[in-house]
């Protein structure tokens, strides 16, 4: 297998996921990965089409699985105690941009 290098343009680098190299514009990160062929990609998460594409466009199989599960829940009764049913509002909140955020500890006393 040949190595592949992916250059990800970010507005903020989180941790030491990859390496910055001299000559790259500030905010670009080089992340080595493995693939069948060697290539270089430059991605900007703010303009990359998959950032704004709907799930059905990006991964139709997963979108179909979610749709089938929603239909199963709508037309059946769940008798497994360990599974929870949540409202549409909760599903929307869980799938919002807020899932990009996290906090550990208590306000004013975070662990990071």
How confident is the model over 54-112, as pLDDT tens digits?
889 888 999 999 999 999 988 988 888 888 788 889 989 888 887 877 777 787 887 66
Q: Domain tally for the chain?
A: 2
d(CA 102, CA 111): 11
Beta strands 40-43; 2-9: pairing state: parallel
Co-location of 37 and 66 in the same domain:
no
pLDDT in tens, 38-64: 555 555 655 566 667 888 988 899 999
Q: Give residue for tokens 């290098």.
A: 5
In a domain, 108, yes or no: no
In a domain, 107, yes or no: no
Q: Are 33 and 11 in contact (CB under 8 A)?
A: no
Token pair for residue 45?
A: 């998460």
**Which of 15-29, 30-44, 63-77 is modeled with the greatest confidence?**
63-77
In a domain, 15, yes or no: yes
Domain that holds residue 57: 53-98
């Amino acid at each position: 297998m040949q190595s592949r290098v992916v250059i990800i343009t970010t507005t903020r680098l989180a941790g030491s996921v990859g390496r910055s190299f001299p000559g790259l514009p500030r905010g670009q990160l080089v992340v080595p990965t493995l693939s069948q062929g060697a290539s270089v990609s430059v991605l900007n998460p703010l303009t990359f089409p998959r950032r704004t594409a709907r799930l059905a466009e990006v991964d139709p199989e997963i979108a179909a699985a979610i749709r089938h599960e929603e239909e199963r829940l709508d037309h059946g009764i769940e008798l497994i105690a360990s599974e929870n049913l949540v409202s549409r509002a909760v599903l929307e909140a869980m799938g919002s941009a807020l899932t990009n955020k996290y906090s550990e500890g208590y306000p004013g006393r975070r662990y990071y």
